[in-house]
């Protein structure tokens, strides 16, 4: 069995930036164990698997160690692979996922993800997590219905200089950590740490912005926001809060195409 594979850098306009994801279209679903083994072999933060349906595509996302409920950059990468390599010429693409139906709208080389907005509620500052991160947050917010917490810092520099001890971070909390602060040249910046899902630091995390955008929209009293994830690779997103939805716009660039032989 030969399966096409596309490796796409998402939320960037140039290769070696943004967040790389593998996209693999399937004729039908393989066993979960086989999907997980392929994702582990790819060893990227996410591998997206697609199966065509009457309404669009069924879409699932796997890290090297587990299947996840929601992934932004691999959804953008999937839309890019469909448009750039699989002959899909549509202004809107529909994906059936574990988080419900997700839409991606394409305009030129830009892709806008239509994702759920998480409700964020204030939580206590966890000193053990801050110690593991290497910096003391001023606020902590919990994204309801998820395993994500926002740790809010005063300045962009505070987030940039974090040097997490990932073993200590995994021991201190069962939650994935989103570190965020006001941006120097954008509305806000962030970093994402997910040792529990096999990703110590994710380069650009669309699903994190489902919590970040509602928080910063309320704090700054605006609906449209510019965001940067300040990982080593870095990424840029234009975001908008529309009721209970978050829109995230970015670009994708193909790095590699090939076949997986099973």
Q: Which residues are catalytic?
A: 46
Tokens (6 digits) for 27? 């004729």
Percent of the chain that is helix, strand, coil (3-state, to 5): 25, 45, 35
232 DSSP 8-state letter: S
Could you tell me which residues come within 8 angstroms of residue 218 by beta carbon, excluding any fewer than 6 positions away?
A: none
Nearest to 95 by CA among 117, 70, 119: 70
Q: What are phi and psi of 139, to 5 degrees?
A: -145, 155
CA 194 to chain centre: 11
CA–CA distance, 81 with 21 (Å, rounded to integer):
10
């Amino acid at each position: 069995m030969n399966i096409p594979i596309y490796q796409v850098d998402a939320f960037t306009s140039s290769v070696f930036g943004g967040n790389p994801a593998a996209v693999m279209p399937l004729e039908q679903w393989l066993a979960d164990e086989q999907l997980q083994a392929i994702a582990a072999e790819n060893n990227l933060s996410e591998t997206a698997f697609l199966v065509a349906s009457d309404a669009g595509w069924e879409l699932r996302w796997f890290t090297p160690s587990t299947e996840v409920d929601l992934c932004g950059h691999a959804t953008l990468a999937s839309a890019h692979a469909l448009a750039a390599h699989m002959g899909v010429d549509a202004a809107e693409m529909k994906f059936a996922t574990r988080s419900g139906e997700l839409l991606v709208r394409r305009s030129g080389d830009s892709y806008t993800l239509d994702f759920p907005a998480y409700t964020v509620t204030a939580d206590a500052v966890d000193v053990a997590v801050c110690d593991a991160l290497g910096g003391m947050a001023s606020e902590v917010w919990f994204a309801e219905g998820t395993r994500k917490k926002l740790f809010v810092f005063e300045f962009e520099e505070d987030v940039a200089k974090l040097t997490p001890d990932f073993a200590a971070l995994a021991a201190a909390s069962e939650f994935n950590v989103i570190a965020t602060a006001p941006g120097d040249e954008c509305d806000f910046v962030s970093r994402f740490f997910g040792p529990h899902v096999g990703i110590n630091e994710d380069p650009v995390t669309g699903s994190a912005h489902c919590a970040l955008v509602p928080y910063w929209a309320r704090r700054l009293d605006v609906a449209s926001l510019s965001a940067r994830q300040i990982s080593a690779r870095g990424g840029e997103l234009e975001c908008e809060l529309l009721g209970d939805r978050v829109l995230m716009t970015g670009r994708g660039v193909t790095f590699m195409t090939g076949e997986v032989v099973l």
